[in-house]
Amino acid sequence: MPIKKVKQLIFDADDTLWENNIFYIRAAEDLLHLLVQSGGDRRKLEQEFQTVEKRVVIDKGYGSENFVYILRTLFDRYHQTSNQSAESMQFEQICQAFISHVQTAPQIFPQVPEILAKLRIRYRLYVLTKGNISEQWKKLERSNLLTFFEKAYVEPEKNLLTYQRILRENHWRADETCMIGNSPKSDINPALSAGCWAVYIPYAFTWVLDDEPLREGKERLETVTSFANLESLFL
């Protein structure tokens, strides 16, 4: 990658700067375990969960509130009424454990502040995240990372049109812009399609709906194993 051409770096937030999807996975696993214990079929429940999740994302959007709605939909549909009180109590505990992560500061990945501080000396830094607007802003504010970025973009969706609009509004050249993130669907593929560079940081717990094969423009793509590797790539 001809790093010298790049002038601005755009960072994804969830699962790039800090942990996020792992909390959703844990809540989903806890719910499935509860329903299987009461006689549910694991494979059928997993398929139903993905079906409901896809529908809710389309109809209602992203965010923790909508995810709790997904959990509650599955629980109401499949829990055993014969043991309603005990199961309901366990379910509410699952929801509260999940919600608590939204109400606290994000768990920043190792070396993120240190690397951002170094990159800021040479590049203009921006953050681009999608989801519930209010919730994402609160995460950014609680992260204590906003001071590293010239601007934060919080969008309901991240796709090709999003990247094209940001390039146009800022009068940026695509070949001088690099997107850094963990999601092929939201970070890498649309950025490459817009003509930007991209750095892919694979994450073991990337959301299944954000995962897809890497597509066109791979000559402008770098892959690193961790955020800390950005120092050797850019500095």
For the domain made up of 3-18+106-234, give the CATH fold: Rossmann fold (3.40.50)
- Asked if residue 2 has pLDDT above 80, the reply is no
Chain CA centroid to CA 113, Å: 18
Beta strand 8-11 with 197-200 is: unpaired
Which amino acid appears at position 76 of this protein?
A: D
- Which pLDDT band, with edges at 50, 70 and 90, does 221 fall under? very high
- Tokens, residue 212: 């897809």
- Provide the token pair at 127: 């953050």
pLDDT at 53 over 90: yes
What is the per-residue pLDDT across 80-100, written as a single tens digit (0 to 9) for each?
665 667 889 999 999 999 999
CA nearest 155: which of 181, 183, 130? 130
Sign of CA dihedral 80, 85, 90, 91: positive
Residue ranges covered by each domain of the chain: 3-18+106-234, 21-102
pLDDT on residue 183: 96
Q: Can you count the helices (H) and strands (E) in the chain? A: 9, 6
What is the pLDDT at residue 117? 98
pTM of the model: 0.94
Quickly state the pLDDT bin for 215 (edges 50, 70, 90). Answer: confident
pLDDT tier at 38, thresholds 50, 70, 90: confident
**Mean pLDDT estimate for the chain:** 94
